[in-house]
Structure 1
């Protein structure tokens, strides 16, 4: 059996990137925590000045989630973009060597 080998050398840019989904999830979790803190800061059973209605703490928590979670996701995405830009400057060039071996009968 004879072997025939062929080598091909290329170069490529290698750079690290953040995992955006992890930053989005962390931002959403931060939004939930902020909504929970703000819910207890407003108190229970207060009458709204604009509508005259009384809202429970669970309703206030739900209303605050509508604003805090998207804001947290946006903040997480912004932090991920900043990390992406900072890490993008530190790219390196690597050498890729690919060898193909064929057996001939």
Structure 2
């Protein structure tokens, strides 16, 4: 499985997991996704949320085949992609995916 590192993301990875969100300027579901991921990262120790502008990161968007926003990737502590999804996520699904990432 593919890995992402801090240099590619422009931010440090979480010790346990990282929630990477690709967004665009006029994406209403992106705002709700930002809130959900921020809340989860705020209550789960060692988890960080990184939001990337899709238009400003086209090389990464193409490499990861991001076709719409929001698209969310769940990375384990080493930056390995363990889950991905697009559209507005449910908080329960994010928490379940984190369980997989930190296992």
The reply to whether TM is greater than 0.5 is: no
TM-score of the pair, normalised by structure 1: 0.18
Larger RCO of the pair (alpha carbons < 8 Å, separation 6+): 1
Higher-helix-fraction structure: 1
